[in-house]
Amino acid sequence: MALQDARKALKEGIRLLDGAILKQPLAYTMWKSYKTSGNLRHLDKAVRALRDSLKLAPEHNDASRLAWLGYMLMTRFNRLGQPDDNNEAIAVLRRAVEIMPDNHLDKLRRLDNLGIALWSRFEHSARLEDLEELILTNRIAIDATPVGHPDRPVRLGRLGIALQTRFERLDELEDLRSAISVNRQAVELIPDDHPDKPMRLYILGDSLLGHFERIGRLDDLESALVINRHVLELTPDTPLETRLRRLINLGVTLHHRFARMGGPEDLEESISIDRRVVGLMPDDYEYAAMSLGNLGVALHSRFECTSKIEDLEEALSVHRRAVELTPDDHPDKPKWLSNLGIALQTRFEHTDDLGDLENAVSIQRRAVNLTPDDHLYKPIRLNNLGIALQARFERVGEQDDLSSAVLVLQRAVELTPEEYPDKPIRLSNLGGVLQNRFEVTNKREDLENAIQVLHHAVNLTPDGHRDKPLRLNNLGISLQSRYKLFEDTEDLEGATHAKQRAVELAPEGSPYKPGWLHSLGITLQSRFERTRVVDDLANTIALHEHALKLLPQNHPDRPAQLNTLGVSLQKRFESSRSRSDFEAAVKRFMEATMQPLGPPSDRLEAARQCVKLVTGYPELSSSDDLLLAFSRVISALPEIVWLGHSVTRRYNEAGKIGDLVTAAVAAAIGADSLSQAVEWLEAGRSLVWSQVLSLRTPIEELEKHHPLLSNSIRGVQQELQSPGLSFSSLKPRANEPVRGIPGVTVDSMAEHHRILVTKYEQILAEIRSYPGFEDFLRPKTLSTLTPLIEPGLGPVVFVNVHASRCDALILLERGLEIKVVELSSLTEQRAKRLRSIWRECLNACGVRSRAVVPWNNAGVRGGSGNFNLVLARLWTWVVFPVLKALRYDELKNGGPLPHITWCPTGPLTQLPLHAAGIYADGSDAGQHIFDLAVSSYTPSLSALLHSSPDTAAPHTTPNLLVITQPATPGYSPLPGTVDEGARLEDICVASHIMSNALGHKQATVDAVRRFIPRHSWVHFACHGSQNLVDPTRSAFALYDGPLSLETLMSTVSENAELAFLSACQTAVGDERIPEESAHLAAGMLAVGFKGVIATMWSIQDADAPIIVEAYYKEILKHRRIGISEDAGTRAAYALHVAAGRLRGRVGERNFERWVPFVHFGL
Of the CA atoms within 13 Å of residue 734, those in its CB half-sphere come to 8
* Straight-line distance from the first to the last Cα atom of the chain, in angstroms, rounded to the nearest whole number: 119
Tell me: pLDDT of 733 over 60: no
Tell me: pLDDT of 760 over 70: yes
Same domain, 879 and 1003: no
Strands 1091-1095 and 1058-1062: parallel
Over residues 1064-1082, mean pLDDT? 74
627: helix, strand or coil: helix
**What's the pLDDT band for 368 if we cut at 50, 70, 90?**
very high
Tell me: pLDDT of 782 over 90: no
| Strand ranges across the sheet with 1035-1038 | 1024-1025, 1035-1038, 1041-1044
1159: helix, strand or coil: strand
Whichever domain contains 1009, its CATH number is 3.40.50.1460
Summarize pLDDT for 10-37 with one digit per residue, the tens. 344 434 444 445 567 888 888 888 888 8
Of 77-86, 488-497, 733-742, give the lowest mean pLDDT range.
733-742
**What percentage of the chain has pLDDT greater than the value 70?**
90
Tell me: pLDDT of 67 over 80: yes
Same domain, 982 and 1121: yes
What pLDDT does residue 701 have? 85
| Residue 1117 burial (C-beta neighbours within 10 Å; 0-12, 13-18, 19+) | middle
Rounded Cα distance between 490 and 499, Å, is 14
Rounded Cα distance between 852 and 856, Å, is 13
Between these two residues, 343 and 50, which has the higher pLDDT value?
343
What pLDDT does residue 17 have? 43
Does residue 270 belong to any structural domain of this protein? Answer: no
Does residue 694 belong to any structural domain of this protein? Answer: no
Same domain, 1004 and 1101: yes
Of 141-155, 313-327, 409-423, 844-858, give the lowest mean pLDDT range.
844-858
What pLDDT does residue 788 have? 65
Tell me: pLDDT of 573 over 90: yes
Does residue 375 belong to any structural domain of this protein? Answer: no
Same domain, 26 and 133: no
**What percentage of the chain has pLDDT greater than the value 90?**
48
Same domain, 907 and 835: yes
Over residues 739-754, mean pLDDT? 75
What pLDDT does residue 717 have? 85
Does residue 482 belong to any structural domain of this protein? Answer: yes
Summarize pLDDT for 283-326 with one digit per residue, the tens. 888 889 999 999 999 999 999 888 899 999 999 999 999 999 99
Between these two residues, 52 and 664, which has the higher pLDDT value?
664
Provide the mean pLDDT of the chain: 86
From residue 872, alpha-carbon distances to 348, 510, 563, 879, 1010 in Å are 57, 68, 47, 10, 46
What pLDDT does residue 850 have? 46
SS3 per-residue string spanning 286-302 = CCHHHHHHHHHHHHHHH
* Concatenated DSSP letters of 719-775: HHTSTTTSSS---SSS-EEPTT-TT-EE-HHHHHHHHHHHHHHHHHHHHTTSTT-TT
Does residue 1107 belong to any structural domain of this protein? Answer: yes
Closest CA to 359 of 324, 304, 316, 397: 316
Tell me: pLDDT of 582 over 70: yes
Specify whether the CB–CB gap between 892 and 933 falls below 8 A. Answer: no
Does residue 475 belong to any structural domain of this protein? Answer: yes
Closest CA to 478 of 517, 513, 430: 430
Which residues, listed in sequence order, are joined to residue 997 by a DSSP beta bridge? 962
Between these two residues, 8 and 500, which has the higher pLDDT value?
500
Tell me: pLDDT of 584 over 80: yes
DSSP-derived secondary structure letter, 1101: T
Between these two residues, 920 and 838, which has the higher pLDDT value?
838
- Count the neighbouring beta carbons within 10 Å of the beta carbon of residue 648: 16
Over residues 110-136, mean pLDDT? 89
**What's the pLDDT band for 4 if we cut at 50, 70, 90?**
low
What pLDDT does residue 893 have? 66
Which range of residues forms the domain containing residue 76? 62-140
Same domain, 1044 and 906: no
Same domain, 1 and 82: no
What pLDDT does residue 647 have? 80
Same domain, 888 and 1016: no
Does residue 339 belong to any structural domain of this protein? Answer: no
What pLDDT does residue 489 have? 93
Between these two residues, 88 and 1121, which has the higher pLDDT value?
88
Tell me: pLDDT of 730 over 80: no
Closest CA to 1066 of 1130, 1022, 1012, 1009: 1022
What pLDDT does residue 216 have? 82
Specify whether the CB–CB gap between 191 and 198 falls below 8 A. Answer: no
From residue 350, alpha-carbon distances to 140, 616, 687, 742 in Å are 57, 36, 29, 33
What pLDDT does residue 803 have? 94
Closest CA to 281 of 254, 226, 318: 318
Does residue 219 belong to any structural domain of this protein? Answer: no
What pLDDT does residue 726 have? 46
Rounded Cα distance between 890 and 884, Å, is 8
Tell me: pLDDT of 539 over 90: yes
> 813-852 burial string, b = 16+ CB within 10 Å, else e?
eebeebebbebeebbbebbeebbebbeebbebbebebbbe
Task: Provide the number of structural domains found in the chain.
Answer: 5
Tell me: pLDDT of 742 over 80: no
Over residues 103-117, mean pLDDT? 86
Rounded Cα distance between 1089 and 26, Å, is 92
User: According to DSSP H, which parts of 415-443 are helical?
Assistant: 423-441
What pLDDT does residue 612 have? 94
Rounded Cα distance between 79 and 41, Å, is 12
What is the CA angle 846-905-793, rounded to 5? 100
Of 638-647, 966-975, 1104-1113, give the lowest mean pLDDT range.
638-647
Same domain, 38 and 136: no
- The C-alpha torsion from 149 through 150 and 152 to 153, rounded to 10°, is 150
Specify whether the CB–CB gap between 310 and 514 falls below 8 A. Answer: no
**What's the pLDDT band for 1087 if we cut at 50, 70, 90?**
confident
Tell me: pLDDT of 1122 over 60: no
SS3 per-residue string spanning 657-671 = HHHHHHHHHHHHHHC
**Rg of the chain over all Cα atoms, to the nearest angstrom:** 40
Closest CA to 438 of 453, 424, 426: 453
Same domain, 968 and 1100: yes
- Our measurement of the distance from residue 84's CA atom to the centroid of its chain's CA atoms, rounded to an integer in Å, reads 49
SS3 per-residue string spanning 112-178 = HHHHHHHHHHHHHHCCHHHHHHHHHHHHHHHHCCCCCCCCHHHHHHHHHHHHHHHHHHHCCHHHHHH
DSSP-derived secondary structure letter, 793: -
Same domain, 874 and 979: no
Q: Which of 87, 113, 140 is the last residue of a domain?
A: 140
Q: Which of 911, 937, 963 is the last residue of a domain?
A: 937
Tell me: pLDDT of 446 over 90: yes
Same domain, 36 and 75: no
Summarize pLDDT for 854-901 with one digit per residue, the tens. 444 444 444 467 889 999 999 999 999 999 999 988 776 667 899 999
Tell me: pLDDT of 474 over 90: yes
Closest CA to 508 of 256, 257, 262: 262
Over residues 102-107, mean pLDDT? 80
Q: Which of 937, 969, 1003 is the last residue of a domain?
A: 937
Over residues 80-87, mean pLDDT? 90
